[in-house]
């Protein structure tokens, strides 16, 4: 076993001997990280508590054009699943996208650098780890980039130092903040601030996820919550990783799922995760889908597409679900369209206000698949009955 402080010497040795292969580090509780080397340089790193969440988050940050192409994802992942002895699907998928020019090599290397930095940061928080060398077992594609071990460790040490200096070392960046005492917190802060916090502090986003959603540095986000955490108004909880897309059932032949032809359903929500969840759920059930993450563009897109059911997030930057709903209701062709408000703050005041602006229904987040499908079916059925 060796501590984080001894990692530099060990990894530097792999650089000196121009090692090619895989290094597996395991901490005392069983958590593992894998580093892939080529001639002494790191070409990729993965593992830890949230490998899929980490990959998806950095993909959104570095390759924003990719997360919305879910149909292409499924086809690519199906092809990777069919590949014998596939190793590290995250890296292979990046290689495939660079080859097809879906993303640039610069985007891929930027993402890999960020992933390596996160992995090294997390290992630095471990007390003791054991190492295992797997030489000549590397089955990754041609390296997208070669990342110097010493430089990567230097960058990781800088991140550790900033984290300690900010006095947030008691917090894990992989934990998720959730409001523990809503009434007390509501009394301490402005109503609009509470609405914004209740939307994101829902136990579904880690501190790293929140930093991306809020487009702020993770240290700033953590420090802004530290007072409430210390007061016991907000608590940090452990959450599971997102499911790995490879190894899961991939739709191949059903036309109704691959090319949905049912009624068009729209979701206006500034959270990419919510839009992606709704898209996967609804298209798998045969509905067409349009997702809008920019609230300011929502009105024009909805007018152009004219969906038959609309889900509206309550709180968004520069606008809100009430305003969009009220504007839509002034248009003749949206007068009877089912509009469902989505919110993480399920209060009676919000429900009353939603009714006043013409909302048809009100759902609390996180959304549940059965509830969403039930609401869509109910309102479409009511609309059909009215026509008859």
pLDDT in tens, 133-177: 876 544 555 688 889 888 888 888 888 889 888 888 888 999 999
Given a cut of 70, the residues of the chain with pLDDT beneath it are 1-9, 67-75, 78-86, 135-142, 245-260, 345-347, 349-350, 383-388
Residue 78 CA to residue 82 CA, distance in Å, equals 6
Residue 258, pLDDT score = 46
Residue 260, pLDDT score = 67
Express each pLDDT in 295-341 by its tens digit.
888 888 898 889 999 999 888 877 888 889 999 999 988 988 999 98
Q: What is the pTM of this model?
A: 0.62
Residue 349, pLDDT score = 65
Residue 107, pLDDT score = 94
Residue 189, pLDDT score = 87
**Cβ atoms of residues 34 and 45 within 8 Å:** yes
Q: How far is CA 368 from CA 29, 68, 255, 354, 374, in A?
A: 32, 21, 25, 20, 10
Question: Cis peptide leading into 366, omega within 30 of 0?
Answer: yes
Residue 86, pLDDT score = 54
């Amino acid at each position: 076993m060796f501590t984080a402080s001894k990692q530099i010497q060990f990894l530097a040795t792999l650089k000196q001997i121009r090692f090619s292969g895989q290094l597996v580090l395991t901490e005392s509780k069983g958590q593992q990280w894998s580093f892939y080397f080529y001639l002494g340089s790191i070409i990729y790193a993965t593992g830890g508590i949230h490998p899929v969440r980490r990959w998806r988050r950095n993909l959104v940050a570095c390759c924003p054009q990719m997360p919305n192409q879910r149909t292409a994802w499924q086809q690519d992942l199906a092809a990777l699943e069919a590949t014998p002895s596939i190793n590290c699907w995250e890296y292979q998928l990046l290689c495939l996208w660079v080859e097809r020019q879906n993303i640039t090599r610069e985007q891929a290397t930027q993402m890999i650098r960020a992933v390596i930095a996160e992995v090294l940061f997390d290992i630095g928080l471990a007390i003791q780890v054991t190492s295992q060398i797997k030489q000549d077992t590397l089955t990754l594609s041609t390296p997208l980039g070669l990342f110097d071990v010493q430089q990567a460790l230097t960058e990781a040490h800088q991140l550790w130092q900033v984290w300690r200096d900010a006095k947030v070392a008691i917090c894990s960046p992989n934990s998720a903040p959730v409001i523990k005492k809503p009434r007390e917190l509501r009394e301490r802060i402005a109503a609009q601030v509470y609405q914004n916090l209740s939307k994101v502090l829902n136990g579904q986003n880690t501190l790293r996820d929140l930093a991306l959603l809020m487009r702020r540095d993770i240290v700033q986000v953590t420090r802004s919550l530290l007072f409430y955490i210390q007061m016991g108004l907000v608590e940090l909880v452990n959450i599971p990783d997102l499911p790995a897309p490879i190894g899961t059932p991939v739709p191949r032949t059903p036309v109704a799922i691959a090319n949905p032809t049912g009624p068009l359903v729209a979701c206006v929500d500034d959270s990419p995760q919510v839009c992606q969840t709704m898209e996967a759920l609804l298209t798998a059930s045969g509905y067409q889908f349009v997702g809008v993450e920019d609230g300011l563009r929502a009105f024009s897109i909805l007018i152009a597409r004219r969906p038959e059911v609309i889900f509206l997030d309550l709180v968004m930057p520069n606008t809100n679900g009430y305003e969009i709903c009220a504007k839509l209701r002034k248009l003749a062709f949206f007068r009877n369209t089912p509009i469902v408000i989505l919110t993480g703050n399920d209060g009676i005041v919000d429900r009353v206000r939603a009714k006043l602006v013409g909302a048809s229904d009100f759902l609390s987040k996180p959304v549940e698949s059965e509830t969403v499908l039930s609401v869509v079916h109910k309102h479409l059925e009511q609309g059909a009955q009215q026509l008859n």
